[in-house]
Amino acid sequence: MRKVMLLLPAVALSALACMGTAQAESAPGCASTVQIGSTGYVKKNGTIIASVKQFKGCGKNWAYTYVWDSYAAQPGGFSSSAAMVVNGDRDYGSNVNGRNKQDVWSKGTNTLTKCTRAYGEVWGDGNVYWGQTDERC
């Protein structure tokens, strides 16, 4: 009985750790990316459906959007995008990943000397949900 009681909290913590956090965090063509700033979140009706992160590496900034497993598993499909926002313009390095792809990287942007934030969108049920990171200067 005692072994079961000790095992249950460990199993619960393990399950919480796997609830949809981003897994792939190396930009295409740049293996040395490092996250900068806080993680932003895309929410649907108050529920987190994706993470948005900003990275630097290989002399560039990168935006990254990861659609959580819980949203990706729902019927109907989805699309996602990632872009860098510079001076309010979110078209820097935009990239649409296509249908039912959980992770998407923006193109690398030459914006390390500017104030930037990562921006991500998820859509597929007739609505667009978006989130962004804090601004980094």
pLDDT along the chain (137 residues), means of 10: 43 40 72 95 97 97 96 94 87 79 93 94 93 95
The pLDDT assigned to 8 comes to: 39
Q: What domain range includes position 117?
A: 21-132
Q: Is residue 97 part of a domain?
A: yes
Q: Is residue 6 part of a domain?
A: no
Q: Is residue 137 part of a domain?
A: no
The pLDDT assigned to 20 comes to: 43
Q: Is residue 8 part of a domain?
A: no
The pLDDT assigned to 19 comes to: 44
Q: Is residue 11 part of a domain?
A: no
Q: Is residue 27 part of a domain?
A: yes
Q: Is residue 1 part of a domain?
A: no
Contact (Cβ atoms closer than 8 angstroms) between residue 40 and residue 133: yes
The pLDDT assigned to 24 comes to: 57
- pTM of the entire predicted model: 0.80
Domain count, the chain: 1
Q: Could you give the CA distance from residue 105 to residue 115 in angstroms, rounded to a whole number? A: 19
Give SS3 for 12: helix
Contact (Cβ atoms closer than 8 angstroms) between residue 66 and residue 108: no
Q: Is residue 4 part of a domain?
A: no
The pLDDT assigned to 134 comes to: 95
